[in-house]
Structure 1
Amino acid sequence: MIIAVDVYYEENQAKSVGVMFQSWEDSKPLEVIMSYTENPHEYEPGFFYKRELPCIQELLKLTDINQIHTIVVDGYVYLNNEKKPGLGHYVYTDFSEKIPVIGVAKTAFHDNDAFVQKIYRGNSSKPLYITSIGMELAVAAGHIQRMYGEYRFPHLLKLLDKHTKEARL
């Protein structure tokens, strides 16, 4: 199973969402899971993972982690050409370097092209920036390229974004 994860912050709370699916070409998720974290870590420039990782850890407790073969994060695995670790790297090391992680970012980072592959989807002239760990970069980029949807951002990742930003019920 594959899980794409994202976190959204409001005042003193973080909402984490995971969209679980079986195949890269799936048009519908198998399941959407959510968790809430009160008083998440404050944002520190250059240390985004300190805020996001604990929220993702809580979310993944709702899964059978042994059934997950890939985690997709909104962001980067590496932040620069010297392999400064990004959120995806910390997620990978948190799970004993056993579950490959793919980072999907919408914007480019300065001095970050050595470990990034740009992909173009649909008719968009703007790329997605793919990074990976535990999996060859070209394979990771191919997976995201094949995801269902005709637009720049794959359908299930757009669904993830929508669920993440919805108000708590």
Structure 2
Amino acid sequence: MIYAFDTYYFDDYANTICIAFEDWTSEIETETFSEKTTITSDYESGAFYKRELPCILSLLKQINLKENDIIIVDGYVTLDNDGKIGLGGYLYEALDKKYPIVGIAKNGFASPDFQRREVLRGESKTPLFVTSKGINVDEIKPKIEQMHGNFRIPTLFKKLDQLTRI
């Protein structure tokens, strides 16, 4: 199973959603998980994980992960060639490196990272940025390209983003 997470921040709470789907080409999710939590940390530039990681870890308590499951986060897993990690990297460590984590970011990051791949989807000239730990990023790149939807953002990721804002 593939589990994709995203969080949206309202004034007084965070809404975290996870959609589960069976295959990279799936058009619809098999299950949805949601949780509203108190915001535990203000936004801190360069330390986004401090705000979002607790939300994801809390929602993961509702999910029975299995050995071959993959987790996707909205953001980066690795940030540079010097080993700096993003939200996905911290999640990978928090889960004792047991589950592959894939980061899909919509915005570029300035530091060079040999683990980062750009993915162009549909007719978009603007890439998505893919990073990972626990699974080879070059194995993931074509899977992101093949995800359902004709636009830059795959169908399920667009739905995930919309669900967080409700």
Q: TM-score range by the shorter chain?
A: over 0.9
Where in structure 2 are there 5+ consecutive unaligned residues? none
Supply the AA of the counterpart residue of 1:18: C
How many residues are paired up? 166
The residue aligned with 2:92 is 92
Q: 2:15 is matched with which residue?
A: 15
Alignment correspondent of 1:106: 106
Deviations 1:33-90, CA, capped at 9 Å, x for gaps:
1001113211222111111000001111111122661000000011223221100001
The aligned amino acid for 1:62 is Q
Distance 1:4 1:41 in 2: 22
Query: Given residue 85 of structure 2, which amino acid in structure 1 is its aligned partner?
Result: P
The residue correspondences of 1:1-150 to structure 2 (distance < 5 A) are 1-66=1-66, 69-150=69-150
Hey, what's the Cα distance between the residues in 1 that align with 2:99 and 2:4?
A: 13
CA distance in 2, matches of 1:2, 1:157: 12
The one-letter code sitting in structure 2 at the alignment partner of 1:100 is P
Q: Is the 8 A contact 1:71 1:102 kept in 2?
A: yes
Identity over aligned residues, as a percent? 39
1:78-104, Cα deviation, whole Å (9 max, x unpaired): 122322110000111111101001100
- 2:9 & 2:59 partners in 1: Cα distance? 14
Gaps of 5+ in 1: none
Structure 2 distance, partners of 1:10, 1:67, is: 34
- Mapped to 2, the partners of 1:118 and 1:154 lie a distance apart of 14
Q: Secondary structure at the match of 1:147?
A: coil
State the alpha-carbon separation in 2 of the partners of residues 142 and 94 from structure 1.
27
Q: Give deviations 1:106-148, integer Å, cap 9, x for gaps.
A: 1111113422100111010111100011000111112211111
Alpha carbons 2:67, 2:99 under 8 Å: kept:
no
* 1:12–1:40 CA contact under 8 A, matched in 2: no
Rate the CA distance shift 1:68–1:7 in 2: closer, same or farther, 3 A.
farther
Letter in 1 for 2:125: S
The amino acid across from 1:122 in the alignment is G
Q: TM-score, normalised by structure 1?
A: 0.94
Question: How many Å separate the matches in 2 of 1:24 and 1:67?
Answer: 17
Give the TM-score taking structure 2 as reference length.
Answer: 0.95
